[in-house]
Amino acid sequence: MEAALRIALCQVTSTADPAANLELVRTWTAGAAARGARVVVFPEATMAHFGVKLAPLAQPLDGPWASEVAAIAREHGVLVVAGMFTPDGDRVRNTLLITGPGEHRGYDKIHLYDAFGFHESTTVAGGDQLVTVDVDGVRLGVATCYDVRFPTLFQQLAEAGTHAVAVPASWGAGEGKREQWDLLTRARALDSGNWILACGQADPAAAGVEVNPKAPTGVGYSTVADPFGAAHARAGAAPELVVADIDPAAAEASRKATGALANRKLR
């Protein structure tokens, strides 16, 4: 039987400066590792927040920014998941860097945020591949922000054997949006039988960081939802480190109880 896995959600507010944001990763990873975390999750757009030109900032996975995050992960013996941007011709890819001992790869956001008046696909190319990684006998999937609105992705990850899904985000503010974030993260937990490790950007106003008010730059309220859809741990609006132990056995218990995968007829 797999043992519980300690994870950390680093709810930070990134700036427009990748170098400054790298120092956030360094400091918060050290703090998470000191509390025993084996997986350290940062938000979408950790490399640089939205509302700035992304193409000039984009770097490949073997570039200096990702390589330094890899070194930080190796130093502390943890897996780090952090949002960055990688080049793709005239556009970029909204990439999750997944790096640590024995791992260094990326997940490109599949569902692009062409909603609520935004058009992410204008500047971002979408991915089409699921990504999973094993840590201490626990299989972890990944998804990014707007992906959380699409249950099939999470159910396919569950069918690939995941116990948990990390969901870095930079959630857009607006009427009802925080409530949607809460509802969607817990719903994806319940309908896939996964722990959902939803790590959002902190509310910039609570962190004192100036951002483009028209860009989706975070609302906070990062959440660890258990596979039955209950909030196991939750942050507030300001920068906060959330540390939680997740039991992989709960994933199988949820799927057996709900039949959400076994009884599914449409895919």
CA atoms of 88 and 134, how far apart (whole Å): 28
Question: Which pairing describes strands 164-169 and 195-200: parallel, antiparallel, or unpaired?
Answer: parallel
pLDDT of residue 210: 85
Q: Which among 145, 175, 177, 179 is annotated as catalytic?
A: 145
pLDDT of residue 238: 97
Amino acid letter at 193?
G
pLDDT of residue 208: 85
Which tokens belong to 109? 């956001």
Q: Is the pTM of this model over 0.75?
A: yes
Q: Which among 10, 109, 120, 199 is annotated as catalytic?
A: 109
| pLDDT, tens digit (0-9, with 9 covering 90-100), for 60-74 | 999 999 999 999 999
Q: Which among 44, 103, 199, 214 is annotated as catalytic?
A: 44
Residue for token digits 């640590």?
100
CA atoms of 169 and 134, how far apart (whole Å): 22
| pLDDT, tens digit (0-9, with 9 covering 90-100), for 189-243 | 999 999 999 999 999 998 888 888 889 999 999 999 999 999 999 999 999 999 9
pLDDT of residue 93: 98
> Which residues does 38 contact at the CB level (< 8 Å), separation at least 6?
5, 6, 7, 78, 79, 135, 136
Question: What residue spans define the domains of the chain?
Answer: 5-258
109 assigned to active site: yes
Task: Say if CB 104 and CB 89 are below 8 A apart.
Answer: no
CATH of 5-258, one of 3.90.1150.10, 3.60.110.10, 1.10.3720.10, 3.40.1640.10: 3.60.110.10
pLDDT of residue 1: 52
Residues of the chain with pLDDT under 50: none
